[in-house]
Amino acid sequence: MTTFKDADAFGEFDVIRRFFHRQHFTPSDLNLAPAHAQDVLLGIGDDCALLSPPPSGEVFAITSDMLIEGRHFLKDVSPTLLGHKCLAVNLSDLAAMGAKPVAYNLSIALPEIHPTWLEQFSNGLHAIADHYHCQLLGGDTTAGPLSISITAIGHVLPQQALSRNRAQVGDDIWLSGDVGDARLVLGFRRGEWQLDIPWQEKSARMDAPIPRIELGLGLRGLAHAAIDVSDGLLGDLKHILEASKVGAKVWADDVPCSDLLKNVSTELRRLCTLRGGDDYELCFTAPQKNRALIKTLSENLHLPLTRIGEIVAHSEHSPIIELWDHDHNQLPEEITQHYLKSFDHFQSL
């Protein structure tokens, strides 16, 4: 690791060159497939990057997410984990569209130039970027309160894109992995509840989410619509329902969760699984005839996929989501509404 004797003499362009510009590496150093390396014709260092068009018939899928200190992460967050998370949340959106990652842009405001912090941050960032073969194209670097904005770019065939408006009545509703641990840990850290269970091992669910890229790719042609669970399962599912003009029945107690959450009260478990966010699992809808193929995909990916409900017709006289418990009783409307309130930046100021 290079050390900087005089960090004060370190300017904007030194930061870009030292921590973000990696084009002196060969494609094999970067673990990029040769075909992928050709996507970026010109990367960091010019006025614009130049990107090849997607393969025949495919289109670009483009998404942005911004992370602000104090709102999305705490001041003392590990810079390595922050580097990972800021790209992971963007890749998660590509996954939810069934898109294959190609490249990303990074805009960052830094209160000061702190070489050790930047070294760790960029290590976390480059590690996940290399893992998913996603190359840094360019960006912007400025002084200011710590904030990070990433735009990620992928490819997908438009007819296979898992867009939110494609759910159909009769579809199964599926969820990958399990949800709720990120909210459980957040609540503990905020002092909302005490936990006498070993929650620390679950911190990674909040700090180092895994974007379900392979799942998104595997669902092409199998699923109709998908969303990544970032703000809360029911609230996120509602976006699919509204866009597709349908309703849903959800089996509240079948939503998969960790053993940790199985041992807390029903109320806390439902709060964390149904309303909690930051899990970055995929919630998707698929026709019933694809159940066997989805089970095979689950086995191949070593990733549990669980049916948690079904898409139903929706009229203005019925609630958009009905929640049902273990004993096949429908939960009262006000309880459903409570769990539907997912995270909203402007309502939680």
Residues that bind ligand ADP (CB under 6 A): 16, 20, 44-47, 106, 108, 136, 138-141
Is 240 in a helix, a strand, or coil? helix
**DSSP for residue 52:** P
Pairing of the two strands 40-42 and 50-51: antiparallel
Shortest distance, CB of residue 138 to ligand ADP, whole angstroms?
2
Binds 141, which of Mg ion, ligand ADP, none (CB < 5 to 8 A, cut-off by type)? Answer: ligand ADP
Q: Which residue, 110 or 173, is less far from ligand ADP as judged by CB?
A: 110
One residue of 12, 29, 112, 140 binding Mg ion per CB under 5 A? 140
Shortest distance, CB of residue 47 to ligand ADP, whole angstroms?
5
Q: Which residue, 125 or 182, is less far from ligand ADP as judged by CB?
A: 125
> Sign of the CA dihedral 248, 251, 256, 257?
positive
Q: Which residue, 44 or 237, is less far from ligand ADP as judged by CB?
A: 44
b/e burial code for range 155-165 (CB count within 10 A of at least 16 → b): bbbeebbbbbe
Shortest distance, CB of residue 20 to Mg ion, whole angstroms?
12
Asked whether position 12 contacts Mg ion by CB under 5 A, the answer is no
Q: Which residue, 90 or 273, is less far from ligand ADP as judged by CB?
A: 90
Binds 45, which of ligand ADP, Mg ion, none (CB < 5 to 8 A, cut-off by type)? Answer: ligand ADP
Cα–Cα distance measured from residue 83 to residue 76, given in angstroms and rounded to the nearest whole number: 13
Binds 78, which of ligand ADP, Mg ion, none (CB < 5 to 8 A, cut-off by type)? Answer: none
Binds 47, which of ligand ADP, Mg ion, none (CB < 5 to 8 A, cut-off by type)? Answer: ligand ADP
Asked whether position 242 contacts Mg ion by CB under 5 A, the answer is no
Shortest distance, CB of residue 42 to ligand ADP, whole angstroms?
9
For the beta carbon of residue 314, count every other beta carbon within 10 angstroms: 18
By beta carbon distance, the residue nearest ligand ADP is 138
Query: Using an 8 Å Cβ cutoff, are 280 and 230 in contact?
Result: yes
DSSP letters for 100-111: EEEEEEEEEEES
Q: Which two tokens stand for residue 38?
A: 């050709």
Binds 187, which of Mg ion, ligand ADP, none (CB < 5 to 8 A, cut-off by type)? Answer: none
Contacts 24+ apart (CB under 8 A), 18-21: 18/115, 18/118, 19/118, 19/119, 19/121, 19/122, 20/44, 20/106, 20/122, 20/136, 20/139, 20/141, 21/45
Q: Which residue, 17 or 220, is less far from ligand ADP as judged by CB?
A: 17
Q: Which residue, 138 or 232, is less far from ligand ADP as judged by CB?
A: 138
- Measured in degrees and rounded to the nearest 5, phi and psi for residue 187 equal -60, -40
Shortest distance, CB of residue 140 to Mg ion, whole angstroms?
4
Cα–Cα distance measured from residue 164 to residue 284, given in angstroms and rounded to the nearest whole number: 9
Q: Which residue, 133 or 238, is less far from ligand ADP as judged by CB?
A: 133
Binds 20, which of Mg ion, ligand ADP, none (CB < 5 to 8 A, cut-off by type)? Answer: ligand ADP
Q: Which residue, 140 or 242, is less far from ligand ADP as judged by CB?
A: 140
Count of residues that bind Mg ion according to CB under 5 A: 1
> Sign of the CA dihedral 238, 240, 243, 248?
negative
Q: Which residue, 46 or 76, is less far from ligand ADP as judged by CB?
A: 46
> Could you tell me which stretch among 36-44, 137-145, 247-255, 267-275 binds Mg ion (CB under 5 A)?
137-145
Query: Could you give the count of Cα atoms lying within 13 Å of 307 in the half-sphere of its Cβ?
Result: 16
Query: Using an 8 Å Cβ cutoff, are 296 and 230 in contact?
Result: no
Binds 203, which of ligand ADP, Mg ion, none (CB < 5 to 8 A, cut-off by type)? Answer: none
> Sign of the CA dihedral 235, 224, 96, 164?
negative
What are the angstrom distances between the C-alpha of 109 and each of 49, 81, 144? 20, 17, 5
Binds 267, which of Mg ion, ligand ADP, none (CB < 5 to 8 A, cut-off by type)? Answer: none
* Binding site residues, Mg ion, CB under 5 A: 140
